[in-house]
Structure 1
Amino acid sequence: MRSFFLTLSILSSLIGLFFIFRGWIHPTLYNKELSKENTTAVRVTQVYTEATYRVVLGIGFTSFGIFTAITGFLISSDKVRKEIAFLIDKITKNTSVSSEIDESQDEKDES
């Protein structure tokens, strides 16, 4: 399980970094076209919108990678497992006690 989270985290972070760098370099690919005098504002806006889209997509992938790494770390932690087991045990005990109380109240009401 730990290797799954590690692989997913590294893979999504690398994909995110790829998109960030691609968006960063994107306007320089159109440098000659954008430096012409007859370039329209629409074309300039389109180039920078594409670059921004790639950077935002990269940030999303990188954030997912970080979130996956944190989730994998928390799941593999024994302390967290014990706390979750304790809370689940506590919830099930409270539920069974409250259902027993409800049943005893129903029996008293019937008599």
Structure 2
Amino acid sequence: MAIVLEFGKPDLVITVTYTPAWPEIKNNLMLNKTAQDRPDIGALVFNQKLQLIIQDLTKNNMFGKVIAFMYVSVTVPHAHILHTLDESSKPCDPIDFDKLVTAFQGNPTGVV
């Protein structure tokens, strides 16, 4: 709540979810093993992907200049990211929002 009081409501709420079908997980399993047999590998890959996404959002300004940012990673594993943009980067019309919104369906290797 403190971040909202200081910087206003977030412009983007992003959820990152884990999938056992990621090739980085499958390629590191022994024969006849599944991701459930090695949750440590899944957690490691998820955390690496999450850090890359955070870098894209904050340092590479994927969606614009960031003025506030926070995330929480929960047990499933998945993470929720709140992202507040500088006034000049905020989406303001349907075209801006269309550029931001992308849905990856049926793509287990895609990082969303």
Please indicate the TM-score interval, normalised by the length of the shorter structure: under 0.3
Would you tell me which structure has more strand in proportion to its own residues? 2
Would you tell me which structure has more helix in proportion to its own residues? 1
TM-score w.r.t. length of structure 1: 0.26
